[in-house]
Structure 1
Amino acid sequence: MDRPTLRLTSVTIGTDEPGRLAAFYARLLGGSVTADDPATAAGPGWAQVRVPDGPTLNFEGEVQFRRPVWPAVPGGQNATEHLDIRVEDLDAAAAWAVEAGATLAEVQPQDDVRVLLDPSGHPFCLFL
């Protein structure tokens, strides 16, 4: 069988604050929030960001969301995904991410990568 055409168009990230996380990533990546449906009695909310030159980011509200722990620890709510973001200037990009609302992770395993945590605690990496 020949492989059918498949194209990754979006990534969905679970959070307890979809609108807040969408606003963060829109600012960080220079994108725009294209949907922001707040939580209601009918559901936990959902938001979406379109970024230049990348997949759409969706943020799905999760009632039982627990802030992930990175690096992983036994028995912790360990991170199950992270985003990798290529940058030209690692120090400037890390400073911008912190200004946008990220936190620099305590553990930095590589010299040419910066690990940061978004406002919901998901790790993401900036790399050269």
Structure 2
Amino acid sequence: MQQPALNVGAVTITSEPQRARELADFYRRLLGWPIVDVGPKGGWVQLRPPEGETGPTINIEEDVAHSRPVWPSQHGRQTATMHLDIGVDDLEAAVAWAIEAGASQAEHQPQQHVRVMLDPHGHPFCLC
């Protein structure tokens, strides 16, 4: 069978019920991406790269059974099954910017030139 064309169109991040817009606002501040769609009752929010930039959209979706992930992973606790890697030109400035936007720096930092950050809902993302 020949492989069909496959393109990653979106990355979806879950949030606690009633908090999708809050998490979307964090990523809007962090990335400078506009919020382009909000689902019924605000349970789903979509951000898109600004005009002229490419990349997948980021969807924030409420999940009634959402549990805050822990980093690094711990047996018996909710783990982050995926995370964003965000390329930066200046790691120190990017960390400061992320903190100003509402992120925190994770205690565990496994690589010298990467910073593991946590969004306000505990999802890890890497600045590299």
Give the structure 2 partner of residue 47 of structure 1. 45
TM-score w.r.t. structure 1 length? 0.90
The separation in 1 between residues aligned to 2:40 and 2:92, in whole angstroms, is 34
The separation in 1 between residues aligned to 2:71 and 2:36, in whole angstroms, is 29
Q: 1:102 to 1:38 in 2, by over 3 A?
A: farther
Q: Does 1:99 align with 2:106?
A: no
Q: Which runs of 5+ in 1 are unaligned?
A: none
Give the structure 1 partner of residue 14 of structure 2. 14
What amino acid is the match of 1:101? Answer: G
Contact 1:19 1:38 survives alignment (8 Å): no
Following superposition, the deviation at residue 50 of structure 1 comes to 0.7
Give the structure 2 partner of residue 68 of structure 1. 69
State the Cα deviation string for residues 57-106 of structure 1 (Å, max 9, x = none). Answer: 00110111111001001111111111000000000001000000001001
Give the structure 1 partner of residue 82 of structure 2. 81
Following superposition, the deviation at residue 36 of structure 1 comes to 2.7
TM-score w.r.t. structure 2 length? 0.90
Q: Which runs of 5+ in 2 are unaligned?
A: none
RMSD over aligned Cα atoms: 1.3
Following superposition, the deviation at residue 53 of structure 1 comes to 2.7
SS at structure 1 position matched to 2:22: helix
Q: Does 1:27 align with 2:29?
A: yes
What amino acid is the match of 2:11? Answer: V
Contact 1:114 1:125 survives alignment (8 Å): yes
The separation in 2 between residues aligned to 1:105 and 1:53, in whole angstroms, is 28
Runs of 4+ in 1 over 3 A off after TM superposition: none
Identity of aligned residues (%): 54
Count of residue pairs brought into register by the alignment: 123
The separation in 2 between residues aligned to 1:26 and 1:111, in whole angstroms, is 27
Contact 1:22 1:49 survives alignment (8 Å): yes
What amino acid is the match of 1:68? Answer: P
SS at structure 1 position matched to 2:64: coil
Contact 1:19 1:37 survives alignment (8 Å): no
State the Cα deviation string for residues 26-80 of structure 1 (Å, max 9, x = none). Answer: 11111001123464xxxx7111111243210001101111110010011111111
